[in-house]
Amino acid sequence: MQPPARAFSAAFATARLHLRRYDSSDAQDVLQLMDRNRGRLLRNFPELANGVKTVAEASAYIGAGDKQWEDGAAFIYGIWLPPDPAPIGQVRIKNIVWNVPAAELSYFVDHDYLRRGVATEAIRAVLREAFDALGFRRIYVRVISSNEESLALAHRLNLRHEGVHRNAFRCGFGELHDVHLFAMTDADHTRSIPE
């Protein structure tokens, strides 16, 4: 099934944050965000960590994201905390199955902004967009066992733990990790998404 005519909004705001689609002028800032967090990204997102090491690669990453956005294949938002002019994280909606519809979320926040509610606030906004505006039926996240912050976040967001895939992910350091699967359905969202 093709994506609907109305897909994810290009930008939206929360009480503290501004989430928007990257544009070509963001390449330097995206690279700096990756550079500041490269060790954590190698552990959790090795393809991203290894694929964005220059401004040219950051530009290509943004360009590929634009193509995915136009095709309805994936949607990447940078996260800004005004008045900071540079992004402090990102959320990506990917692996979309439009005939359900369902999708996977992946996300990261700059290490300087951990434990400040940034990821919680950004993901709640994306969940509202997916469920309330676009009628998604299921959103899931995959988290490696060593990522304690994301495991705690999944619980805080009331995503249901659906199981563990053992030895399912090799990180950028070569280590093999178990992967926890958490999900929220539209019924779960209606009942339990906290503010």
* Structural domain includes residue 169: yes
Tens digit of each residue's pLDDT, the chain (195 residues)? 556 656 899 999 999 999 999 999 999 999 999 999 999 999 999 999 999 999 999 999 999 999 999 999 999 999 999 998 999 999 999 999 999 999 999 999 999 999 899 999 999 999 999 999 999 999 999 999 999 999 999 999 999 999 999 999 999 999 999 999 999 999 999 876 555
* Structural domain includes residue 5: no
116 by DSSP, 3-state: which?
coil
* Structural domain includes residue 2: no
* Structural domain includes residue 159: yes
State the amino acid at position 59 in one-letter form.
S
* Structural domain includes residue 3: no
What letter does residue 180 receive in the DSSP assignment? E
How many domains does the chain fold into? Answer: 1
* Structural domain includes residue 88: yes
**CATH at residue 182:** 3.40.630.30
How far from each other are the two terminal CA atoms of the chain, in whole angstroms? 33
* Enclosing domain of residue 126: 11-192
**β-sheet with 11-13: strand ranges across:** 11-13, 18-21, 75-80, 89-97, 102-109, 138-144, 176-185, 160-170
